[in-house]
Structure 1
Amino acid sequence: MTALGFLYPGHSAEDDYPRIEQLLGSDVRLDLIHTDTGEDAHPVDPLGEMGSAERLAEGMEELRLAGVEAVVWAGSSGGFAHGWEGAQAQVRTLARLAGMPASSTSVAFVHAARELGVRRVAVGATYPEDVATLFAEFLRAGGLEVTGTRSSGTVTAAEVGTWEEEDVLALARAADVPDAQAVLLPDTALHTAAHLPLLEKTLSKPVLTANQVTVWEGLRLADRRVNAPILGTLFTREPPAQA
């Protein structure tokens, strides 16, 4: 059994995680601990506070007692709002607090794009435009080319959590451009686990979503690969052959 820990802000799309755990169809356990979001809004200052070391430390003991092998901070904007270097420092702090391998959703997007061998990405963000721009800048600092950013201007995670499949698909379509090798949807408050096959079929390219890449990153940290095509192209890499 591989046990992975996730620090998740709020409750907006928490049910993506048990769904992903079921879809993995393997001996993987996903343990979710909720962190305090503070103000449920997307202005830059509250986002930075949401990912503070003090808030990340909350619930860490519970994850350690659960016996998880790695931990991922599942708050996209609470990572990239610190910038590339700040997000790296945040991950190092989390690893030190946890005493185990650690990462974040924001960093996971860059790792996932590299895994797929894509450089040019389009961004479909639920956030206001200034926050979406911060994510694009973060990706560029991580070595990716952002072909375009589409913002829905949604202010709160609670509202994003109510989006239906057609809303998610509309955002992805609006963001997509022919030059993009993949489309990124960077909000862990957005339900996407059930929509990945339709998203990729509609756009005819890989789609990377926040909760999807967060779980994949946890598996990567634990040196696990799980083939689960229903979770998108990212999960179609075959596990390495056993000696």
Structure 2
Amino acid sequence: MTAPIKLGFLYPGHSAEDDLPLMAGMLDPNIEVNVVHTSVGEDAHRIDALLDLGQSDRLVPASDPLFGTGIAAVIWACTSGSFVFGRDGAREQARILEDYLRIPASSTSLAFADALAAMGLRRVAIAATYPDEVAQSFVDFLAECDIETVSWRGEGIVTAAEVGRLPVERIMEFVSGGDHPDAEAILVPDTAAHTATVIEPLEKRLGKPVITANQVSLWQALRLANGLTPRTGLGRLFNTAY
């Protein structure tokens, strides 16, 4: 049997981290996910709280359990805790983790930009769980990455804990409602949302790629680990080894 590809994820608190091993199992049993939790000062989708959440003095110490695990790449699996720093700040977060762990590192925000570039997509719609100020910050981040947002909607949910409790039916509803005919893909940016089981039904309903935070985090980790091969079960993003 081929040795598993081992991937590390830094995840803030507890909400939908179970999506990551679930998604890995949907793709291939030879993907091994190692999730470690970062500290959270205040569980709030608010700019000041998110800037605190993504500080290196939270990320670096939290990554210590990943030493000696054999992981090939690590992801800061928090979209809002990376995009609020802007493109350059998100890259700096990744660089600090790379220097500390001595393996490739990235974040969910950077993963969205890299996935869209790999797929040749430049115009998106956003269905965000966030309050409007935070959703707008994601729009601004994407613009820095040369990605045009043709429409966006925020659900106004303040805490990750509440997002993690959203039923599948609610997620299907707000993602479908956030689509736009001019969008080439629809993005669902919160890693606190459980999306493993909704991606393919939504793509069938909407007729375009649906890219969610935990899904694209796993894609980015596999890409950095040189483990991307065409895979089924988790949407168009994984259908081709870009």
**TM above 0.5:** yes
Q: Please list the CA deviations of residues 23-52 of structure 1 after superposition, one character each: whole Å capped at 9, or x if unmatched.
A: 112421110001112101111011011111
Q: Would you say the 8 A contact 1:196–1:230 is kept in 2?
A: no
* Inter-partner Cα distance in structure 1 for 2:241 and 2:154: 34
Q: 1:224 aligns with which of 203, 220, 227?
A: 227
Q: Would you say the 8 A contact 1:23–1:228 is kept in 2?
A: no
* Inter-partner Cα distance in structure 2 for 1:226 and 1:19: 18
Question: What is the match of residue 143 of structure 2?
Answer: 140
Which segments of structure 1 move beyond 4 Å, counting only runs of 4 or more?
Answer: none
* Inter-partner Cα distance in structure 2 for 1:142 and 1:39: 29
Q: TM-score, normalised by structure 2?
A: 0.96
Q: 1:107 aligns with which of 106, 110, 113?
A: 110
Q: Please list the CA deviations of residues 165-218 of structure 1 after superposition, one character each: whole Å capped at 9, or x if unmatched.
A: 111111111211100000000000000011111111111100000000000000
How is 1:71-90 mapped onto 2 (pairs within 5 angstroms)?
71-90=74-93
Question: What is the match of residue 202 of structure 1?
Answer: 205
CA-atom RMSD, angstroms? 1.1
1:45 equivalenced with 2:39 (yes/no):
no
Question: What is the match of residue 73 of structure 2?
Answer: 70
* Inter-partner Cα distance in structure 2 for 1:25 and 1:60: 25
Question: What is the match of residue 179 of structure 1?
Answer: 182
* Inter-partner Cα distance in structure 1 for 2:130 and 2:198: 20
How far did 1:238 drift? 4.5
Percent same amino acid at aligned positions? 46
* Inter-partner Cα distance in structure 2 for 1:108 and 1:114: 10
Is 90-99 or 175-184 further displaced after alignment? 90-99
Q: Would you say the 8 A contact 2:8–2:66 is kept in 1?
A: yes
1:237 equivalenced with 2:240 (yes/no):
yes
In structure 1, stretches of 5+ residues that fail to align are: none
Q: TM-score, normalised by structure 1?
A: 0.95
Corresponding letter in the other structure for 1:133: Q
* Inter-partner Cα distance in structure 2 for 1:238 and 1:115: 9
* Inter-partner Cα distance in structure 1 for 2:166 and 2:156: 13
In structure 2, stretches of 5+ residues that fail to align are: none
Q: 1:57 aligns with which of 44, 55, 60?
A: 60
Q: Please list the CA deviations of residues 108-150 of structure 1 after superposition, one character each: whole Å capped at 9, or x if unmatched.
A: 0001111211110001110000000000000010111110110
Aligned residue pairs total 239
How far did 1:81 drift? 0.6
Question: What is the match of residue 153 of structure 1?
Answer: 156
How far did 1:74 drift? 0.2
How far did 1:58 drift? 2.3
Corresponding letter in the other structure for 2:32: R
